[in-house]
A and B are shown apart, each in its own frame.
Chain A
Amino acid sequence: MDQFILQILNGLDKGSAYALIALGLTLIFGTLGVVNFAHGALFMLGAFVAVTMSNLLTLSHKVVDETRTDFLGNPLQVDVPYLYDFFGQAAGDTIIDWAVPISILVAIPIMVGIGFAMERGLIKYFYKRPHADQILVTFGLAIVIQEIVKYFYGANPIPTPAPEAFVGSFDFGVVLGFDPNAIIYPYWRLVYFFFSVVVIGAVFAFLQFTTFGMVVRAGMADRETVGILGIDIDKRFTIMFGIAAAVAGLAGVMYAPINSPNYHMGMDFLVLSFVVVVVGGMGSLPGAVAAGFMLGILESFASMSAVIDLLPGINQIIIYLVAIIILLTRPRGLMGRKGVMEE
């Protein structure tokens, strides 16, 4: 039982990342009809906003320490962050420690801006082109973004820790009456899960309870009629692209402490997130979220050694296996609109 609960918890944070990325993907597909293979790159860029913020906050000047030597035997040049000069060491350390949460604030405008630039600068020229063309151009764009990031940040992962207050694990085992250590779960992963629930809730609320959201939903249902009513739906869809980019970016910012960001992390999530979208139903927002969490949890269960012993290799194919079954039995996906992918 404890293993069962443990794997559900594990699946939740992985599912959170899938759900956030898939939400943006399906939002773009539902509004603009574009299959955006560069969406994983937006997730990666979000993580690198956190890395950049961390670098900026630790921007330093050199102070020579005559008492110590460097690896060549020269007097050691110690890096002293400018923040120490402005706020003192204690306050400076606290600000540096909270680099990731601070990054959230700057990530929103940056990612919305990148989303606008991507949509206006490239993707809008591919609206009327076949999906294959869209996939090729966005995949190419993703590779370009990856290589740019690698050029500036290198190929190795860059540690971006969570604030000290969130280091460590919560022992669910003790709370639920199991043995100590039976069900432990890192604090930051709990934060990630709750953060994703808040972001997903905010996106749904925005679409459900605002006039802007109502128009967007109307546009998703019947773009032509909304256009005939004199509403510039393209402009609103561009804004939605920016919002989708921001959602992916925020998912990336918060993910940075879980796994050290590297230039390739977007690709690692992209394919799985696409499967999530297909399983949930292309264009269906609740479908993307439900499928994200469902596949995250299934993936966790498939990684249990008892399951691997029974079905070797199942951990590597479980998500694709589910996708095949869903596509064969219900091509529109779990919550997809009737007719989508069924012709």
Chain B
Amino acid sequence: MSNNSFSRRGVLKTGMVASAGLALPQYLRAQESGFTNAPGASEVILGFNVPQTGPYADEGADELRAYELAVEHLNGEGDGGMLGTFSSQALEGAGILGRRVGYVTGDTQTKSDAARASARSMIEKDGAIMITGGSSSGVAVAVQALCQEAGIIFMAGLTHSNDTTGKDKRANGFRHFFNSYMSGAALAPVLQAAYGSDRKAYHLTADYNWGYTTEEAVRTSTEAMGWETVNTVLTPLTQTDFSSYIAPVLNSGADVLVLNHYGGNMVNSLTNAVQFGLREAQANGKNFEIVVPLYSRLMARGAGSAVAGIFGSTNWHWSLQDAGSQAFVRSFGTKYGFPPSQAAHTCYVQTLLYADAVTRAGSFNPCAVVEALEDFEFDGLGNGPTLYRGEDHQCFKDVLVVKGKENPENEFDLLEIVEITPVAQVTYPADHPQFAGGALGTCNPGA
């Protein structure tokens, strides 16, 4: 029989002392450095917050592959990828400011609350100095706000809604990915050239924030060139069969269907539209056409042959021939056996941009990083000359207009680049009505 000397009070006291002891170095370091999660002398931790479960898990897996590759390259392993083509040349493959780069991962589940919880855990428990990732604008906006409060830099992953760098922008948040406005501005001239100015469009729009901003952007851009919008219908995000929404389209007077859908919605609505014979149909004496404003290769694969001949836009594509894209595709393809997605590309680039900003600033202090990233001009990362605009923390670069390939040679060869829209054509003033409301505020170093 043992004599148990533990008491509840004793355990509580010991626990509190131990917790305080464990937290003390972090607290002292924060006090000393003046910002949250100042790294130790040997290692710096980055937090990769991606959807590892849920509907965008495949996209999240590709993002994680890209992050792991970026960490390898930052630590001087592998072939260096885009470090060799990046115009800054501040990174030498020796970690960040002499510290080896480590990382922790979180699962956003593509749910805002889960994403915030995993980001908070990585910040508070793992000491992550920067959070990056995500495959949804809802998640990006939620995590960006959390990072602002916590004094952590947020480098957004795949988020396309205008609001991320519009009404919900934050000083600690940065987006490399393009947005709904840019899709509309890039697509409209191509659509005009292909289908003419006398067109009547019918919009099916996913009933959430990204859908609204995309519909507004495409509608505004196409109406400006003479198209008429005959109807806009919101579809529930949970909808799987779009037949009842698509069946009335042919008889509505429209001759173009714009599918403001992404992910599973896009796959299903496009498949349904093709099944209903819209591609072969005639309306108003013209061939009926379908447009998908935001394309993703991973999603296009789900829709199969339905994407053939359909226009859309994308942030980046592995078939680009510039040195940066080629270097990234070579690194990624050699390591994983297939080309990277646009989600992988933006995540890889964001990690490099953060590391570069810290190196140029000579500090991990978020405010120093913000200063280094604001109005930073760079090249060699796959999108041509790019500006990280200081007013809204949005990257301005060329946008790709793509078309589903008629005869793909393999499962990756689904999209062909129709036009590289120059950055000037997709640039807008920071106070543009589609981005109205909200304020960047000031950077928060936390601590």
Contacts and interface: CB of A to CB of B under 8 A. Distances in A.
Interface residues of A, number: 48
A182 B410 CA distance: 37
Interface stretch (B193-201, B233-241, B369-377): B233-241
B323 interface: no
Contacts of B268: 157, 259-260
A159 B281 CA distance: 23
Interface string A37-76: 0000000000000000000000000000000101110001
B247 A184 contact: yes
A332 B57 CA distance: 41
A72 B334 contact: yes
A188 B274 CA distance: 12
Select the residue from B243, B250, B280, B282 with max chain A CB neighbours within 10 A: B243
A268 interface: yes
Contact of B241 (A3, A14, A72, A168): A14
Contacts, number: 126
Given A71-B412, A72-B330, A260-B271, A150 B231 contact: no
A182 B253 CA distance: 11
Interface stretch (B160-168, B180-188, B300-308): B300-308
B243 A10 contact: yes
Contacts of B208: none
A6 B248 contact: yes
Contacts of A155: 54-58
B304 A304 contact: no
B5 interface: no
Contact of B302 (A157, A161, A185, A316): A157
A6 B247 contact: yes
B251 interface: yes
B59 to A, nearest CB: 8
Contacts of B304: 159, 161, 260
Interface residues of B, number: 50
B57 A10 contact: no
Contacts of B338: 71
Nearest to A301: B244
Nearest to A3: B248
Contact of A181 (B251, B264, B302, B303): B251
A304 B267 contact: no
Contact of B247 (A10, A70, A76, A156): A10
A186 interface: yes
B275 A186 contact: yes
A186 B276 contact: yes
Q: Which of A14, A156, A182, A262 has the most chain B CB atoms inside 10 A of its CB?
A: A156
B316 to A, nearest CB: 14
Interface in A135-186: 150, 154-159, 161, 167-169, 179, 181-182, 184-186
Interface string B247-290: 11011000000000000100110011001110011110000000
A260 B247 contact: no
B238 A181 contact: no
A2 B302 contact: no
B241 A258 contact: yes
Contacts of B276: 169, 184-186
B330 to A, nearest CB: 6
B318 interface: yes
Nearest to A169: B277
Contacts of B251: 2-3, 6, 179, 181-182
B409 interface: yes
Contacts of B330: 72
A262 B329 contact: no
Nearest to A6: B247
Interface string A314-336: 01100000000000000000000
Nearest to B238: A268
B350 to A, nearest CB: 22
A10 to B, nearest CB: 5
Contacts of B412: 71
A249 B312 CA distance: 36
B333 to A, nearest CB: 5
11 contacts: A9-B247, A72-B330, A72-B333, A72-B334, A76-B409, A181-B250, A184-B247, A258-B271, A258-B272, A260-B268, A262-B264
Given A9-B247, A260-B303, A300-B244, 13 more contacts: A2-B251, A3-B251, A72-B334, A154-B58, A157-B264, A161-B304, A181-B282, A185-B247, A189-B243, A258-B272, A260-B302, A260-B304, A268-B238
Interface of A: 2-3, 6-7, 9-11, 13-14, 68, 70-72, 76, 150, 154-159, 161, 167-169, 179, 181-182, 184-186, 188-189, 258-260, 262, 264-265, 268, 299-300, 303-305, 308, 315-316
Closest 8 CB pairs of A and B: A159-B304, A157-B302, A169-B277, A303-B244, A155-B57, A300-B244, A186-B275, A181-B250
